[in-house]
Amino acid sequence: MNKYNVIEKTIIFYNQRNKVLANVNYTLIFCPKQGSRTTYTGVTDDKGQTKPVEISANGKLHILVQGHETIFSPKKLIKPVLADGTNVIEIQDSRLENNIKFITKEQFELQQEKSKKLRAELKELVKKNPKGNFFNLSKMPPAFNHGVQKLEESFDISYEEYKKKNTTIIKSRKYLKFKMYVLYRFVDSRGKGIPNMSYQVFGEGQSKPLVGFRPTPTDQKGYTKQADTHLKSQIKYQMGSTSKTSEWYEPITCVDKQDIRLVVFPTASANTNPDINNKASLGENQKPPIVINPSDNEVLVLPPALYAEFDRKTKILSDAIKEVHHSNSELTRAIQSRNLEQIKELEKRLNINQEKAIEKINGEFKQVADLKEVWIVETTGEKNQSASKYNLARRYLRVSDYKSYSQRRLNEEKEVKIKQENGQVAPPSLIKKEFDKLAKQLLTAKKSVGGDKAVYNLIGGLGGEIAEEYVSSSDITVSQEAQWMRMVAGSSAEGMISASSKGVKMKVSGDASAKWTLFEGVKEWRKFYPCESGWALELGNYDLGTIRFLIGAELSGFSGANLGIAGNLSVDISYQGTTQVLTAAVREPGQSMSNMLNRERKPMFQPAKGDLKEIAAAQESGKPQATAGINAFVGAQIQGVLKGGIEWFKPNIDKGGEGKFVTIAAATGGGGVSAGAGAQGQFQIIYDDGCFKIRAAAHLCWGVGAKGVATFTVGTEHILNYIGFIKLQLLQAGFRSLVYIAGQAFSLMAQALAVCIGDNHPLTESVEEIANVYNIWLNRLNKDQERLKTANHINSAKGREELIIAPPETKGILLYAVTHWGHSTAPIFDIHVSFSDLEVKFFPARKTAVINILKTCITTAEWQNTIQHIHPRAKKLNQSEFGKVEGDLIRFLNYGENPKYAEDIIRCINQGIDYAGTNINHWLKDYLKYRKGAKAVTGTSWNYMLVRNQDDQRFEQFKIQQGISRGFDEQTLMASNLEILAPFKQDEAESKVYHV
């Protein structure tokens, strides 16, 4: 008789640190394939185990726990958040299927009746034959049939007892590994979140950060990103110039108490070297009455009351300019964090702050000669402490006011040599010596000048501070033009400015420091637009990738330092000859960046929408905008030269998506909107004057309300990344026509890349030169030796690498080149003879080139588009031609073999069935494999550029994830240079550069 099988399932909960999770409330729901579901509840024991659940049928066991869906969610019955696997256990066991054969209760009771009846019959038989017969020589009463007796014993119990007696228990355990994570938050002493704190999260024993490949800012409520890790972790952050780390924290799971690890900042005024563990030492900021004039080598010590007047007047102007840049910095962060309401509010605030600052500047200064830049000193810490700490800050005032203060100074001697006679900065040792000398002079004359001895001691100490700053600085210019630029730049706006020809790391705050050396070597404004993480490009429902504009203005002398441009409100982009120039303009009411956010509130624009000709016409015919200029330069043009570039987020194939922004074009002169006809939209890719160019409406690269059209040129150093950018868009759009790319520009790109791969040209050559070589190369392909060279170049490491970014048109040209021949002797140039196998292979190099090309086609659309463009100039074939060309391709791969194989394969393809033959060569096998592989991918995937070809191990993942629209948020945040402002290319012809 069959046994009844039962699986006794026990679930063990544990975390990623291999610690069991005890006292977890759970609910198990078993749903059999047939019948009603059963629910079990309980609490895990001290070993993390549930009570055993008996399962006698196949089905699904659902596991739920009392926990938190996210760290912010209330506790409730949820699916457990697991490190891997699922909360549903599939029960599929053939032994359970056999339970259907086990006797039912009705059958069991029927057998019981039969056994009773049979027993009664046997008893009657014994009574009739008391002495036995021939078979019962012992004359003993016959025994019951053993089988009948056993059957009677079996059925002389209840069905439940019988079933239990004949049940086989199969013990089974399932381990559920719960995901672990940690979240940090920066708060002040009142528990209020601190936004935009740069941080990194590190795991114990790990050199690379868990969160923040580069220091990353907290969100508006002070929260970091969640770190998914089983390691103990700590957070690293900057407090002024000091690097701080938290204690080590254990991660948690969804069934633990959801503790958010707090980093508490005590309320204190900032200083050069803050110490959050010592609140008592952070005294109120003090401003000794010292005014330093570096351009004239002077130091003034003012009476306290007079200094207070000076401080009050100059601070109004400094604060007005500071607020413009601070508001701009906050607006950029609001766009980055996608805060719709805050964007609108900050845009209004930026307009107001700029108007106030310009009004103040125009009221104070009528001409350049009116301006005087001075430095003031701030000390922090307790009074009379032995080691004072200094902050040097810039202030600006009228020359006449400065002369008035100078006449009322306390110190008789005011000269301190900071700048030498030749205009160069004095050596640090000399600067220190000069300040020490001034301090001694003041101490000697103390009775006559009065004042506190600490002030004079401070002056002596300043020499060392200034000397130290000069050591780390380079070529600080104190000319009036340079002073003016520093004033308009604002001493707190370094987040918008590059401080080095090699680029500078962005500051997360627009008011991070008042150190006066921040603007050394600066000749340009620059910033990211719309923010560091960039624009999402969309075409219909297709996500075409992410770009950002690194944009700015060259400061043409001092006249370019216009607060309207620097404040980044609105500009007019126009041409003076071939030079693109910027003029500051007032933003029209009602225009807001908040209108250019997508569903996820990420900055987004549709490149194919709008029309650049209409934009340019509206700029020319519209009313002139009111100029948001500074009136201190009579007769000077208040404008700057457009500088910058377009950067594309390029994932790194070797690092699974972690990538960086790369430049695909740079702002240059030339090319009005009439050039490069054939493209549509507000963002166009064209070919003009021997170069690929990208034109964009001004509001996309400078700011909402900007007028005109900006032109960017793809340089030879950008071409590889530019082609990768185009390939990305084709993949994401399913190789549909992209109307914003001019046909001529696209064809030339495809042809140029074909020449570079097929003829082994470097991609860094001039596009115009490569285009001229194309026809020569095609003519050379009439010789079979040249076709073989092309195949060898394709098969090289360089060729296979460049095929990854090649569009179908390029691949079609190359396929044409290697699959055709001009003479019957062609095979003798490309042949392989194996004497051991007595085998001859024709065209092995060229057939391998075909496969190397086709295996880079990773979607159905790409495969079909490639076959459709097998033509010397990538002309698109019609449907009937498509079938013929693919047939010719198969026959070529079969060349030298039995023609029947090729015809059988073509017949199977036409009938939509798989070819089952095994005698074909390895090129045909690969062709069928890659054709089928591409056919499996019909949609787009976020893994678009992470798969090199179908041999890549990530191709299977690509197939699984096709059609999943993830956007670019996660990958953008992994950009290794998210906050790096690359330098603009300098014009070598320029004879004058201001170092400010």
Contact 396, 317 (CB under 8 A): yes
Kindly state the average pLDDT of the residues 8-12: 94
Predicted confidence at residue 136, as pLDDT, reads 43
Q: What is the pLDDT of residues 304-323, one digit of tens each?
A: 889 889 988 888 777 777 77
Q: What is the pLDDT of residues 509-540, one digit of tens each?
A: 333 233 333 333 344 556 777 777 778 787 77
Q: What is the pLDDT of residues 887-917, one digit of tens each?
A: 889 999 988 888 899 899 989 888 888 888 8
Q: Is 322 helix (H, G, I), strand (E, B) or coil?
A: helix
8 — pLDDT class (breaks 50, 70, 90)? very high
Residue whose C-alpha is closest to residue 719's, from 684, 688, 680, 691? 691
Q: What is the DSSP letter of 741?
A: B
225 — pLDDT class (breaks 50, 70, 90)? very high
Contact 494, 329 (CB under 8 A): no
542 — pLDDT class (breaks 50, 70, 90)? confident
45 — pLDDT class (breaks 50, 70, 90)? very high
Q: Can you tell me the distance from the alpha carbon of 729 to that of 746, in angstroms, rounded to the nearest whole number? A: 12
- Is the model's pLDDT at 826 over the cut of 90? no
990 — pLDDT class (breaks 50, 70, 90)? very low
Q: Can you tell me the distance from the alpha carbon of 174 to that of 9, in angstroms, rounded to the nearest whole number? A: 7
39-68 burial, b if ≥16 CB within 10 A, otherwise e?
eeeeebeeebbbebbebbbbbebbbbbebb
Q: Specify the pairing of strand 707-713 against strand 570-576.
A: parallel
Output the average pLDDT for the chain: 73
Contact 298, 413 (CB under 8 A): no
Angle at 171 between CA 165 and CA 174, to 5 degrees: 155
Kindly state the average pLDDT of the residues 31-50: 92
Largest Cα separation within the chain, whole Å, is 154
Q: What is the pLDDT of residues 210-223, one digit of tens each?
A: 988 778 888 888 99
Residues 6+ apart with CB under 8 A from 929: 950
Predicted confidence at residue 12, as pLDDT, reads 94
Pair of tokens at residue 231? 């390691």
How large a percentage of the chain has pLDDT more than 90?
16
User: Which secondary structure element, helix H or strand E, spans residue 388, and what is its range?
Assistant: none
Residue whose C-alpha is closest to residue 722's, from 681, 756, 678? 756
Most confident of 55-59, 644-648, 746-750, 838-842: 55-59
Contact 475, 521 (CB under 8 A): yes
Contact 143, 47 (CB under 8 A): no
Which has the minimum average pLDDT: 85-89, 744-748, 961-965?
A: 961-965
- Is the model's pLDDT at 631 over the cut of 70? no
Q: Can you tell me the distance from the alpha carbon of 65 to that of 62, in angstroms, rounded to the nearest whole number? A: 10
φ/ψ of 546, rounded to 5, equals: -130, 135
- Is the model's pLDDT at 559 over the cut of 70? no
Can you give the pTM of this predicted structure? Answer: 0.58
- Is the model's pLDDT at 811 over the cut of 50? yes
Kindly state the average pLDDT of the residues 819-836: 63
Kindly state the average pLDDT of the residues 614-639: 56
Pair of tokens at residue 895? 């060349």
- Is the model's pLDDT at 472 over the cut of 60? no
Taking the CA atoms of 86, 87, 90 and 96 in sequence, report the sign of the dihedral they define. positive
10 — pLDDT class (breaks 50, 70, 90)? very high
Q: Can you tell me the distance from the alpha carbon of 705 to that of 622, in angstroms, rounded to the nearest whole number? A: 13
Kindly state the average pLDDT of the residues 370-391: 62
Predicted confidence at residue 909, as pLDDT, reads 87
Kindly state the average pLDDT of the residues 106-119: 78
Contact 976, 662 (CB under 8 A): no
Q: What is the pLDDT of residues 780-790, one digit of tens each?
A: 888 888 888 99
Q: What is the pLDDT of residues 152-177, one digit of tens each?
A: 555 568 888 888 888 889 999 999 99
Which has the minimum average pLDDT: 178-192, 640-654, 897-911, 925-939?
A: 640-654
Q: What is the pLDDT of residues 676-689, one digit of tens each?
A: 556 777 788 888 87
